Structure 1
Amino acid sequence: MGGLKPMQLKKPARGATPLAARSRVSHRHLLAVAALTMAVAIVALVAPGGDVEANRPLDAELPDPAEAAVEVAERDRDAAGGPAPTREAAEVAAGPAAVDTGPETGETTPAWRELIVQSGDNLSLLFKRAGYGDRDVYRIVHTAPQGKALERIYPGQTIGFLADEDGALAAVRHVINPLQSVVYRRMDGGYSSERLDREPEVRLAWASGEIDSSLFLAGRDAGLSSNLVMELANLFGGVIDFVLDPRKGDTMHVLYEELYLDGDKFGDGNIVAASFTNKGETFNAFRYTDSAGQASYYNETGVSMRKAFLMAPVDFTRISSNFNLKRLHPIYKTTRPHRGTDYAAPRGTPVFASGDGRVIEAGYTRANGNYVFVQHGERYITKYLHLNKRKVREGQRVVQSQVIGTVGSTGAATGPHLHYEFLVDGVHRNPRTIHKLLPKAKALAAAEMPAFRSAIAGVSEQLAQRRTETRLASAGAVSTGNAAP
């Protein structure tokens, strides 16, 4: 009996898809078709005109090319098991971003790629970070009219790079500060350079304060920047010693410029006028530009506020309270006659030349520590002792307010302070009273006085009014404080 033979399953031909596999593929295709159908329906509902892009919100953000590059690189990394990409590398790989010029043209232009200069950066590093080489650096520096200036970059400044359609460097923009920038553009044979200057909007602002311990703290409490406080001290530095003279209750009023760019404040300008009342005596200073175009500060009678010597040769902004001169000598334990004035200050506080002159000695001795002696004309010498560091050398010319050293405790000193001496014709004089015997400051010429009085009239009235308001407010506060309950 032949009987029935077992069913023989035929092997699929090479390259043929098994039935189960064809079934799975068909199932996926059906799902894809269904999803596509739903997407078409949604598009039809949202954009009847068929233009999906036309319905994009105006403020919708376009994808960042660098971020997109990072995502692609991450997917490739996951597949290959490689390291994660950095954003810097992705930015270079993505190339220059494109900016739409608007619906009128429909064209796109390359965007500036800007890098902020960090500490330790140089042009070579910045260009490499932007995807360019030393050859590009060389061509700009050596062919552009102002190319050498590009080598002087500082932390916080911005360097912008513009690429052409082929990705080659087309232009570089050096933003020096908010008001100044230089653009270098590629041209036949090298690069051109163009300096761009912006004019800020100037607004006037008032600040008033009352001294509690020092001008520096009072100025900061009144909203003045450190630079403005220092400028204020320089204005009155010939008539007030801001380390030792200020007393609690002294007042100040300052009219100054604030600089705005695109509606935002970015800095301070000049002090226009200022008033300082010290121990009941009021000093005024007004900025005035004379007929020769020279701007300086004068009091209400036209006398220059710049005196031959500063009252205090130390940066008072580092000192929060006044120094008591009555003390026993810390080394010799005796009360010795002081031939100068001691200014207690933190180590490293800048020490200024009190007037224009020439350094006649700069060295070290066991008693003086690090010291600097300055000759001013034929009759005057100033001495600065116990310095931590000297910033000038013998024979060097110095100008008033130039930093010649820093406060220290070298030599016969137990704590950081500056010992300051003033000699006239070889004889020691009291640095705090000698200014009364010095030649008077330069005054405006008689021909300038009518224009000067006219220029300061309005501001002078405003200063007087503010002083009156401050005095009345202070008197009212005292009266209220003394009133019976």
Structure 2
Amino acid sequence: MELVEKIKKSSVTAFISRIPKLHLAAVAGLGAILLSTQLLSNNKTPERQRTTISLPVTVSSPSIAPTIAESAPQTNSAAQWRTEKLKIRNGDTLSSLFKRAGLNDRKMMNFLAATDDKASFNKLLPGKTLEFSLNKEGDIEQLSYVLSKLERYTFSKDNERYSLEKELREPDIRIAARTGIINSSLYLAGTDAGMDDKLIMELAEIYGWDIDFALDIRKGDSFRILYEEHFLDGEKLRNGPILSAEFINQGQVFSAVRYVHTDGRSQYYTPEGKSMQKAFLRAPVDFRRISSNFNPRRLHPVTKTVKPHRGIDYAAKTGTPVWSSGDGKVIKSGYSKYNGNYVVIQHGGGVQTKYLHLHKRKVKTGQRVRQKQVIGTVGATGRVTGPHLHYEFLLNGAHRNPRTIVQKLPKAESISTKIIDDFHRQTQPLVVQLEAETATLLALNSKGSQNKAL
């Protein structure tokens, strides 16, 4: 013990000897002041005395106090949920989606039993999303069926039941214009004008009864369109419909405007109210090029003999969809050595159309079809040199040139006199706006070209 006490005394003595004398004096002074203060506080005097003491500053490591946010417990239970976002695939069922989210069939059945709005899950659309919000126990707190950024259906747990909240948002609509001049094809001209594929195809569909975009297009043809652009929170979602358009083909002007009927149907008409839709399309396939035109004295590519070629060959990749050029009834869907897979459709007014060398047939004999319904795909069956569609058009049993005959056939109904005033009120501003917007666009493009030249 004596040895321990000696070590302690020597340690204290050594520690004190290392403290600077100035600091020792300060500590001694501080102790005296504190002692005096304590003695004074014991005397019951009516006034308190406050003494301010200045001490030498010493550097020490700062201590960091925890912030309120760090020390306060997390009270928002939603922040503790785990979210699983699953994109719906082809063939998915609600059961398979639950399993991918880590939930068994029992939890799925419990969820369905606790909601009265099961119909929302009757049709799961591929490409859409299911979002599972799960608590710490792995139970569903929320389940959202997201169809788009504009449409969402959320099931939220409330007292052991799930209530449905529908979120439907409206996009901001802006009007835009595009113009183009064709050098080789409509598709390339549309791409150069800043149009996406959907917008280009919509333009082709509007004029699909008047213009064959493989045979009729010439260099220097031009177009201009007025259309909607849809935005949400400043972000562009998609292009909306074409509102008005003008296409100049070989010097002939084709104008179209979009009219929305009182029942919500939208159709395209000329500015005078005549329907753009006709009984037959100019071309029955989404073509890229044509291998041969209508030519009664055509040299057959296989036999090298002159045989009548009473139709048009549309060369396209195998599998390209082929659609019916008009409403009608399939009177034959079969196969032969020379025609390969073929379909024959009987239309009204003594018109018959034939589609030969198909890769696959999509309709059966006796089936009724609508205009632009897919009836097969382009192929190379029968006596052919490559994949293409051979298309024939017969009127009262006689072969007619599909490129010219459709213009002479009956057209769809025009705007009735009962609604012609409403038609003009709705569409005339679109014609004027198309003129103004494209004039501005052309001026800007011209100015930009001049600046580049400088």
TM-score (norm 1): 0.71
Structure 1: which amino acid aligns with 2:199?
L
Where do 1:12-27 residues align within 5 Å? none
Match of 1:197 among 168, 171, 174: 168
Alpha-carbon displacement from aligned partner over 1:241-285 (angstroms, at most 9, x marks no partner): 112111111111111111112221121211111111111111011
Structure 2: which amino acid aligns with 1:116?
L
Q: Give the Å deviation of 1:416.
A: 0.9
2:35 aligns to what?
Answer: none
Q: Does 1:241 align with 2:241?
A: no
CA 1:152 to 1:467, structure 2 compared with 1: closer, same or farther past 3 Å? Answer: closer
- Output the CA distance in 1 between the equivalents of 2:61 and 2:184: 72
Q: Does 1:172 align with 2:143?
A: yes
Q: Give the Å deviation of 1:308.
A: 0.9
2:422 aligns to what?
Answer: 451
Q: Give the Å deviation of 1:185.
A: 3.8
Structure 1: which amino acid aligns with 2:67?
V
C-alpha contact 1:286 1:456 (8 A) present in aligned 2: yes
CA 1:144 to 1:108, structure 2 compared with 1: closer, same or farther past 3 Å? Answer: closer
2:67 aligns to what?
Answer: 52
CA 1:346 to 1:178, structure 2 compared with 1: closer, same or farther past 3 Å? Answer: same
Q: Does 1:117 align with 2:132?
A: no
- Output the CA distance in 2 between the equivalents of 1:277 and 1:259: 28
Where do 1:81-120 residues align within 5 Å? 107-110=76-79, 111=81, 113-117=83-87, 119=89
Match of 2:152 among 172, 181, 189: 181
- The structure having more radius of gyration, on CA atoms, is 2
Where do 1:45-444 residues align within 5 Å? 47=64, 50-52=65-67, 107-110=76-79, 111=81, 113-117=83-87, 119=89, 121-141=92-112, 144-150=115-121, 152-164=123-135, 166-186=137-157, 191-316=162-287, 319=288, 321=289, 323-325=291-293, 328-444=299-415
Match of 1:460 among 418, 431, 441: 431
CA 1:458 to 1:154, structure 2 compared with 1: closer, same or farther past 3 Å? Answer: closer
Could you say what secondary structure the match of 1:227 adopts?
helix
User: Gaps (5+ residues) in structure 1?
Assistant: 1-40, 57-97, 101-105, 477-485
- Output the CA distance in 2 between the equivalents of 1:171 and 1:466: 47
- Output the CA distance in 2 between the equivalents of 1:53 and 1:188: 32
- Output the CA distance in 2 between the equivalents of 1:419 and 1:470: 41
C-alpha contact 1:140 1:147 (8 A) present in aligned 2: no
Higher relative contact order (CA 8 A, sep 6+): 2
Alpha-carbon displacement from aligned partner over 1:381-401 (angstroms, at most 9, x marks no partner): 111111111111112221111
C-alpha contact 2:290 2:313 (8 A) present in aligned 1: no
C-alpha contact 2:178 2:441 (8 A) present in aligned 1: no
Alpha-carbon displacement from aligned partner over 1:102-160 (angstroms, at most 9, x marks no partner): xxxx5442446142326465433432333321122234456644425425334432211
Q: Which has the larger displacement, 360-369 or 171-180?
A: 171-180
Structure 2: which amino acid aligns with 1:52?
T
TM-score (norm 2): 0.76
Could you say what secondary structure the match of 2:188 adopts?
helix
Alpha-carbon displacement from aligned partner over 1:2-27 (angstroms, at most 9, x marks no partner): xxxxxxxxxxxxxxxxxxxxxxxxxx
Q: Give the Å deviation of 1:429.
A: 1.3
CA 1:473 to 1:425, structure 2 compared with 1: closer, same or farther past 3 Å? Answer: farther
Q: Which has the larger displacement, 385-394 or 138-147?
A: 138-147
Structure 1: which amino acid aligns with 2:232?
L
C-alpha contact 1:331 1:414 (8 A) present in aligned 2: yes
2:20 aligns to what?
Answer: none
* Number of equivalent positions: 383
Q: Which has the larger displacement, 391-400 or 234-243?
A: 391-400
Overall identity of the aligned pairs, in %: 45
C-alpha contact 1:141 1:151 (8 A) present in aligned 2: no
CA root-mean-square deviation: 3.2
- Output the CA distance in 2 between the equivalents of 1:243 and 1:146: 50
- Output the CA distance in 2 between the equivalents of 1:468 and 1:334: 54
Q: Which has the larger displacement, 181-190 or 254-263?
A: 181-190
